[in-house]
Amino acid sequence: MIKEETMNRYVIIIGILCSFAVAFTSNALSVALPTIAMDFNLSNIMQNWVVNIYLLIIACASVPISKISSKYGLKRTLIIGLVIYIAGALFSGFSINENMLFLSRFIHGIGSAVLFVNVMAIITAQIPSKNRGQAVGFTIMGVYVGLTSAPTIGGILVQNFSWRAIFYITLPLILLSIYLLSKIEKEWAVDVDKSIDKVGSLLYILSICLLMYGFTILNSKIGLILSFLGVLVLICFIKFELKLENPIYEIKLFKNLKYTSSNIASFISYFATFVVTYILNYHFQYLMNLSPQTTGIILIVSPLLMALCAPFSGRLSDKIDPQKLAALGMSMVSIGMLLLCFLNENTPLYMIIVAMVLHGLGFGIFSSPNSNIILGSVEKKYIATASASLSTVRTIGQSFSLGLLTLIFSFIMGNVIIVPSNYPLLVQSSQITMIFSTIFCIIAVVLSLIGVKSKI
């Protein structure tokens, strides 16, 4: 049996590897979308769904999986998740048509959701409290490195090999994680005696699916109906959860003003900004005719600045009111989004990079203090729930962000293949999306300041 110190080291390494893999997979495919669209003859809307179905599955599955993992064992379910991740990645890379690709992305999303949830839970369960902060820091570093390197590495792979290589490159990391887990005999089962809220899980999944899909086709009657049904199911979910002693999600935390406003600010921030990568990717590859490799190199600007700023803003939020700091960061993002509202075929590259710099710096200043507000506004017994809320809100925000672009594509362009004759409509769609993003960022600034003087 391995020593406790060695086990702790293995757990941290697994956390870094899995966090990198999920973050990389979430972001790397953006530069490959035009190439995939060409290979499979995908329309503008279907291009977005190559990524969006993956995000949607993570958003839907993360909350129920957290409860299942706690009950049946974090190690056991993580190994299963790693195997599912491998299957999803291999099938995605081997896809011969769009139907196989979408099914594979569905499988890949389930595996990623398990990794997404279990890694932080295992670190919390295994690492002593005196070293836990450092372990969490290493894991978050894996996320940032994955996000930062994804566009560049993805672009290089697409340019010099194939878009399929994006799915294969993380597999050695996953196999190493399985190997390290096999060396650990210990199992972590936190909530063995607690029942799983099956009804709440189904209501949650159904509400997110209805809202997300309905939102992307809101320009049609069926979209309006599905969105309305999604809202109704979400209301039923909230009412149902409030009655349970062991709910799948602790809704009562939203009575806390700081917790609620900061969670909404987090959702809106990802909703407003995640789509920027895809708009710029389309702009660089279609309008500017840049290669995937060059596009990936340029797109590294924002995530790199986020990765560099986040640790410093986190420390600063212990000394300066984190709500004011979060508002400052989101104000910078708002200016960057405003500049991109005028994006067209004549926009100079330096202006786009200025907007990206403001986006990266601003979001790096915003994210850590906002997370600090959320985690610091609840009792210690609810820290895990608040942490899960952060992850879930982020993924749902990202999914709805890409959904916004899909919706605007439907209104402005229709379901068409992106060719030069459609470029003016592509520009118009990007500008309208950025106008909405700017408005949402301003709302996030206001939400970040709500309850500054409040103690709860």
| DSSP reduced 3-state for 378 | coil
CATH of 1-186 among 3.40.50.150, 1.20.1250.20, 3.40.1190.20, 1.20.1050.10:
1.20.1250.20
Give the whole-angstrom CA distance, residue 52 versus residue 197. Answer: 27
Mean pLDDT in residue range 210-217: 83
Task: Please provide the average confidence, as pLDDT, over all residues in the chain.
Answer: 83
Alpha carbon dihedral 142, 67, 59, 51, in 10-degree steps, equals 60
Model confidence at 432, pLDDT cuts 50, 70, 90, reads very high
Q: Where are the domains of the chain?
A: 1-186, 197-247, 249-456
Task: Look at residue 241 in the predicted model and tell me its pLDDT.
Answer: 82
- Cα–Cα nearest to 200, from 164, 167, 242: 242
Task: Look at residue 433 in the predicted model and tell me its pLDDT.
Answer: 92
Q: What is the pTM of this model?
A: 0.80
- Label residue 289 left, alpha or beta by phi (over 0 means left) and psi (-120 to 50 means alpha): left
pLDDT at 269 over 60: yes
Task: Look at residue 5 in the predicted model and tell me its pLDDT.
Answer: 75
Residue pLDDT, tens place only, 366-376: 877 777 677 66
Give the whole-angstrom CA distance, residue 146 versus residue 140. Answer: 10
Give the whole-angstrom CA distance, residue 302 versus residue 429. Answer: 22
Task: Look at residue 104 in the predicted model and tell me its pLDDT.
Answer: 93
Task: Look at residue 352 in the predicted model and tell me its pLDDT.
Answer: 93
Mean pLDDT in residue range 281-300: 88
Instruction: Supply angle C-alpha 341, 345, 349, rounded to 5.
Output: 80
Query: Between 254 and 401, whose confidence is greater?
Result: 401
| H or E element, residue 96 | none
Tokens for 234, please give them.
């979400």
Tokens for 341, please give them.
């509202």
Map tokens 């995000």 to a residue.
Answer: 55
Query: Between 7 and 329, whose confidence is greater?
Result: 329
Map tokens 């609840």 to a residue.
Answer: 378
Beta strands in 114-189 (DSSP E): none
Query: Between 256 and 422, whose confidence is greater?
Result: 422
Residue pLDDT, tens place only, 99-147: 999 999 999 999 988 887 787 777 777 777 666 656 766 776 777 788 7
For 38-47, 88-97, 341-350, which range has the lowest pLDDT when averaged over its residues? Answer: 38-47
Tokens for 398, please give them.
């990202």
**Sign of the dihedral through C-alpha 446, 449, 454, 455:** positive
Task: For 333, list phi and psi in degrees, rounded to 5.
Answer: -60, -40
Here the contacts of 167-171 (C-beta below 8 Å, separation 24 or greater) are 167/25, 167/89, 167/90, 167/92, 167/93, 167/108, 168/89, 168/90, 168/93, 169/24, 170/20, 170/21, 170/24, 170/25, 170/89, 171/86, 171/89, 171/90
Q: Name the DSSP letter for residue 196.
A: P
**Fold of the domain spanning 249-456:** Growth Hormone; Chain: A; (1.20.1250)
- Identical fold at 1-186 and 249-456? yes
Give the whole-angstrom CA distance, residue 420 versus residue 92. Answer: 29
Residue pLDDT, tens place only, 140-178: 677 778 877 888 888 899 888 999 999 999 999 999 999
